[in-house]
Structure 1
Amino acid sequence: MSLPMSAVMLGVQDLARARTFYTEGLGFTVAQDVPGFVALSQGAGAPQLALYEWEAAAQDAGVASAGSGFRGVSFHLNPAAREEVDETMRSAVAAGGSVVRAAAGADWGGYYGYCSDPDGHLWKITTYGSA
């Protein structure tokens, strides 16, 4: 049995703020926008990113909504060049995100940095080439 991943859902505190971050900061497009929920797309073949109000997401899963800090997960975007890493980081910050780790060269030859969305979800922006 094959179970391809179709979506990643993030609980967010402010749906409008998160929508701005993901569309203006990281370049996602809106696939669906209804009260309390936004589905975002990166194009054909990519899983959707679903934004759901934090309290409603916790209630839907039947868990407490309290908790902060590292959540044991990060999401990764892989632009083709170092300049695109820097550009993506700048766009993310301009759209309400925060730099967690400034972009820099890595011992393994790549180049990466971390930013977070307004709710603290971590995004690693990395290129594997040395260009």
Structure 2
Amino acid sequence: MDQRISLITLAAADLDAARAFYENLGWEVTDATEGIVVFDLIGQTLGLYSKAGLARDMGLSEDEIGGFSGITLAHNLPTREAVDALYARFVEAGGRGVKAPHEVFWGGYTSYAADLDGHVWEIAHNPFSPLGPKGEFQWRGA
């Protein structure tokens, strides 16, 4: 198996509200099938899909999916100031601040914020993993 994640799909209780939230962060929607909201990212794609639809596709009930699952999505930025700005933008767009930007023991600067459906994002600056020329992240810049 190749080492990659091609598509991350997040369940959304209100697909229109979730779309507006991410658009308020500055993301642009890519054309997709009706009922699916798609954002092309650097090297992968993020999809938003109704919680009911995702549960149906997986053969589960709606109450079996959604919210914080012990997984965070990370968005790395080139500076601490960019972390502060994006964290504030998450909250202004209607998300929930989980932990404000702060220095961490390993020398980085990080924060946590949740989107409208409780999907948690780590918003961070890692000085030991500089971003590539297109903004791509690789551990230790490798």
Confirm or deny that 1:82 pairs with 2:51. no
Q: Partners in 2 of 1:33 and 1:16 — Cα distance?
A: 14
Q: Partners in 1 of 2:68 and 2:86 — Cα distance?
A: 22
Partner of 1:37 in structure 2?
36
Q: Partners in 1 of 2:4 and 2:108 — Cα distance?
A: 28
Give the drift of 1:33. Answer: 4.7
Partner of 1:18 in structure 2?
18
Aligned residue identity for 1:8: I
Deviations 1:70-89 (A, max 9, x none): 31211000001000001101
RMSD of aligned residue pairs (Cα, Å): 1.9
Higher relative contact order (Cα pairs below 8 Å, separated by 6+ residues): 1
Give the drift of 1:64. Answer: 1.8
Q: Partners in 1 of 2:82 and 2:3 — Cα distance?
A: 32
TM-score (norm 1): 0.87
Partner of 1:9 in structure 2?
9
Alignment of 1:1-131 (within 5 A): 1-2=1-2, 4-25=4-25, 27-43=26-42, 46-67=43-64, 70-129=68-127
- Contact 1:92 1:98 (8 Å CA) reproduced: yes
Q: Partners in 2 of 1:128 and 1:3 — Cα distance?
A: 21
Secondary structure of the 1:17 match is helix
TM-score (norm 2): 0.81
Q: Partners in 2 of 1:47 and 1:14 — Cα distance?
A: 23
Q: Structure 1 residues 92, 33: closer, same or farther in 2, change over 3 A?
A: farther
Q: Partners in 1 of 2:21 and 2:33 — Cα distance?
A: 17
Q: Which has the higher strand share?
A: 1
Q: Unpaired segments of 5 or more residues in structure 1?
A: none
Q: Partners in 2 of 1:78 and 1:3 — Cα distance?
A: 19
Q: Partners in 2 of 1:58 and 1:12 — Cα distance?
A: 11
- Once the two structures are aligned, what percentage of the paired residues are identical? 35
**Count of residue pairs the alignment pairs up:** 127
